[in-house]
Amino acid sequence: MKRKESGTGLVAIALFWAGWMALTATSSATLPMQKKAKELGFAVQDCTFCHGEKLPKKGAMTLNDRGKWLVAEKGKRGAKEVDVAWLKEYPGDKK
C-alpha cells in the first residue's frame, strides 16, 4: 500500500512542476533585457520601450508595436526567449 501512495506523490509533484514551467515560460521582459538593449545602443528608458506600461505585470501587460514585433520574431525563429539584438532588424525605427 505504501508504494501506491509514493507513486501518487510523485505524480502530484510532476504535475505541479509541469504547470509551473508552463506558466513561467510566458514571462515578459526583464531588467537584463533592458541592460542588453542599452549596451546595443537603443534608447531604452523603461519598460515602455516595448510595453504599454512602465512596470508591466505578468499576465496583465500590453505590448506596443516594437514588443509585438519582438514576440512575432520569437515565434518565427522558434526561439525560447526574445533576443533584443533582433531590434537591429526592427523596421519601425527606420524612417
pLDDT tens readout for residues 36-76: 999 999 999 999 999 999 888 878 889 999 999 999 999 99
Ramachandran class of 9: left when φ > 0, alpha when ψ lies in -120 to 50, beta otherwise = alpha
Given a cut of 80, whether residue 28 has pLDDT beyond it is no
Closest among 71, 87, 91, 88 to 79, alpha carbons compared: 71
For residue range 2-14, what is the model confidence (pLDDT) as tens digits?
555 666 766 767 6
Confirm if 61 and 28 have CB atoms less than 8 A apart.
yes
Confirm if 28 and 57 have CB atoms less than 8 A apart.
no
Q: What is the pTM of this model?
A: 0.65
pLDDT at 31: 85
